[in-house]
Amino acid sequence: MKAADAVRRFLGASSPEEVCFTTGEVEANNLAILGAVGEFTRLSTQGFCGRPARQGGKIVISAVEPVSVMFPAEMLEKKGLKVVKVPVDGEGFLDTDGLSEAVDEETRLVSVGLVNNEVGAIQPLREVVELVKDRNHDAIVHTDASDAYGRIRFDVKELGVDLATLSSYKILGPRGVGVLYVKEGTKIERVIEGPIGTQALWPGVENTPLIVGFKKASELAFTDFDSNVEHMRRLRDHLIDGLLSMEDAILNGPRGKGRAPDNANVSFLRCEGESLTIELSLKGVYVSSGSACTRKMLQPSHVLIALGREHEAAHGSILMKVSRYHSDEDVKYVVEAFGPALERLRAIGPTARG
Amino acid sequence: MSRAPLPYSSRILELFKNPKNAGKMTDATVSAEAGSPVCGDIITIYLKVGEDMVISRASFESYGCAANIATASMLTEMVKGKKVEEAWNIGWKEVADEVGGLPAVKFHCGILAVGALRRAVREYFSARTPKPAWLPEQDTFEEKQALDEENLARELSKRLNASKDQQDSR
C-alpha cells in the first residue's frame, strides 16, 4: 500500500485505491479498453457495473495508439463495437476536429496516449478530455501515459482523465509491472477472474518485489526532475541534429517542446531498419526500428504510416530514447557509429543505382 | 557481440557482417530483381554466364534485413561454377539450409532470392532459342511468391495513397 500511495502522489491521484498494479503496460491497456466495455468481453449478457448490459457503442482511439490499445479495440470491433481511429497530422499530433466529429452519444471510451511512444508527440490531453466530456459526459477517457510518466509533468486530476496507464520498465524500473490509474467512480470491470485480494480490478497475489522496484524507480525519476529532463532534452537535440546531418535522413515527429524530452526517431532512406539495428549493435549501440522486418507482422510501423510516411521511410526508421544516465560522450559515440553503418548497408542496396 | 531482433543462426550473422559477392556487376550477362521497397525487401541478382552456359560469377544487391542479405549472398556462392540448369534447380529450402536455417517469418527472404535468380535465368533464355526443355513455361513456387509479395506491396501503397487522398479531401 505504501507503493500505491507513493505512485498516487507522483500521478496526482486522490487515493491509493485509484492505483491498480498490473503486469505492465500491455495488461493495463487491455484492462482499460476491455474493462470499460465489460459486457462485450463476458460470455453472458449479465449486467455491467451494476447496470443492465448495453448493446452496441463506440470506441474512439487515435491512429497512433500503441498496439496494446489498438489490438483490444480491433478485437472489440469484431464483436460488434464501432471503432474509430482519429487521424494525426504529419508530426503526430491528434486532429482534434476529427476527434470532435467522432465522439457522440454512443461513445463508450476514448483512448489517446499522452505521449506517443514512437514519435514522442505530446498530445493536448486536457483539450481532448474537455472535447470528449462536452460531447458525451459518460464517455470514459483513457490515456496510455507510459511514455510521459517520469519525463513530462502531468497530473491526472488536472488532465481530467478517468484511466491512465503507467509502465515501470519505461522509467528504468523492473520489467513486468505497470499501473492502471482508475479514477474513483469510473465504470470499469475486471477482465481477469480469480480470487479478489487487495485490488478490486486485478485478482491474484501482486508481485511485491516488482511493485517496490517500480516505486523506487518512480522516486528516482522524480528526484531532480527538472534538471534531468533538461539534460535529456539537450542530449535528444544533439542526437537528432547529429543524425539529421547524415545523408537522406528525415525526422519523425515534432521538434522542440511538443516532443517528449527522451525521444528521437529518424528515418534513413535507402537503408533497411532491421539491418541497421543489427549493424549498430555490433558497435554496442542498441536501438529499435519501425521496419516491417523487425516485426512478426511484416507490416511497417502503423504510427509512421499514420504520419504520412512512405513505406520505405518507415522501413528505414530508427527509434531511440535517451535517459538521465546517458552522457554527451554517449551521444557522440552513437552519432559516429551511424556514419559507417549507413555507408556499408547503402553500398549493397539496389536502390543505390539511381 | 550483436543483438538481432530474431533468433538468427550464426551463419546468417556472419554473412550479414561479411557478405560475399555484394555489389552491382557492371559486365553482367543478365540480372533480375525481386521484391519491393514497400515491403522493405529487394534482391537483385547479377550473373556472368559463359558460352558453355556455366555461371562464372554471380553478385547481388540487397535492400532488406539480415536474412535478406545472407540468403542473397549464399545463393550467389551456390550458383558460382554451376551450369545454368543446375542453378535453376536450387530451391529456397536448400538456401535456407545452407545459411543454417531461417526463422519462419524470414522464409520469404530465401524465396525472394531464388525468385530473383530464376527471373535472371528466364531473362537469359528470353533472347535465346530454342528454350531448353527443362525450363518450365509456368512460374515456379518461388517466382509466384515473389510476384505475390510485389502485388501485395502495390496493394498496400494503393491503399495508403487512397487514405491520404481521403484525409486531404477532409
Those residues of chain A whose CB sits closer than 8 Å to some CB in chain B are 87, 98, 270-275, 277-278, 281-282, 284, 286, 288, 291-294, 296, 298, 300, 305, 308, 310-312, 315, 347-353
Give the largest CA-CA distance in chain B. Answer: 63
Cβ within 8 Å, pair A293-B41: yes
Cβ within 8 Å, pair A270-B66: no
Who's near A43: CB < 8 A, 6+ residues apart? Answer: none
Closest residue in A to B33 (Cα–Cα): A350
Dump the DSSP string for A223-272.
TTHHHHHHHHHHHHHHHHHHHHTSTTEEE-S--GGGB-TTEEEEEETTS-
- Sign of the torsion formed by the C-alpha atoms of B108, B111, B113 and B115: negative
DSSP class of A23: S
Dump the DSSP string for A87-125.
-B-TTS-B-HHHHHHH--TTEEEEE--SB-TTT-BB--H
Rounded to 5°, the CA angle B63-B69-B74 comes to 145
* ipTM value greater than 0.95: no
For residue A349, the chain B residues in CB contact (below 8 A) are 42, 61-63
pLDDT: is A55 or B160 the higher one?
A: B160
Enumerate the active-site residues of A.
293
Q: Which residue in B115, A275, A316 sits closest to B107, CA to CA? A: B115
Q: How far apart are CA B65 and CA B5, in angstroms?
A: 10
Q: At residue A336, what is the residue type?
A: E
Closest residue in B to A297 (Cα–Cα): B105
User: What integer pLDDT is reported at residue B7 of this predicted model?
Assistant: 82
The mean of the pLDDT values for chain B is 91
Q: Which helix (H) or strand (E) holds B74?
A: helix B66-79
For residue B25, the chain A residues in CB contact (below 8 A) are none
Q: What is the pLDDT along chain A (354 residues), one digit of tens a residue?
A: 789 999 999 999 999 999 999 999 999 999 999 999 876 666 445 566 666 656 679 999 999 999 999 999 999 999 889 999 999 999 999 999 999 999 999 999 999 999 999 999 999 999 999 999 999 999 999 999 999 999 999 999 999 999 999 999 999 999 999 999 999 999 999 888 888 778 989 998 889 999 999 999 999 999 999 999 999 999 999 999 999 999 999 999 999 999 999 999 999 999 999 999 999 999 999 999 988 766 555 678 999 999 999 888 999 999 999 999 999 999 999 999 999 999 999 999 875 443
Q: Half-sphere exposure of A75 toward its Cβ, with a 13 Å CA cutoff?
A: 12
For residue A271, the chain B residues in CB contact (below 8 A) are 63
Q: How far apart are CA B119 and CA B122, in angstroms?
A: 5
Edge to edge, the sheet with strand A317-321 lists A249-251, A263-268, A317-321, A288-289
Predicted model pTM = 0.91
Q: How far apart are CA A271 and CA B62, in angstroms?
A: 10
Please compute the mean of the pLDDT values over residues B30-39 and round it to a whole number.
90
- Give me the phi and psi of A179, to 5 degrees please: -140, 140
Domains of chain A with bracketed CATH: 2-221 (3.40.640.10), 225-348 (3.90.1150.10)
| Residue B143 · residue B119 · CB < 8 Å | yes
| Residue A61 · residue A112 · CB < 8 Å | yes
> In the structure grid, which three cell numbers stand for residue A265, read together?
526517431
Strands of chain B (E only): list them. Answer: 30-36, 41-49, 55-63
pLDDT level of residue B40 (50, 70, 90 thresholds) = confident
For residue B156, the chain A residues in CB contact (below 8 A) are 311
- Give me the phi and psi of A41, to 5 degrees please: -95, -5
User: What integer pLDDT is reported at residue A353 of this predicted model?
Assistant: 45
DSSP class of A174: -
Cβ within 8 Å, pair B105-A298: yes
Q: Which residue in A340, A290, A341 sits closest to A320, CA to CA? A: A290
Cβ within 8 Å, pair A311-B3: no
| Residue A116 · residue A144 · CB < 8 Å | no
Shortest CA gap A254–chain B (Å): 20
Q: Which residue in A3, A8, A9, A28 sits closest to A201, CA to CA? A: A28
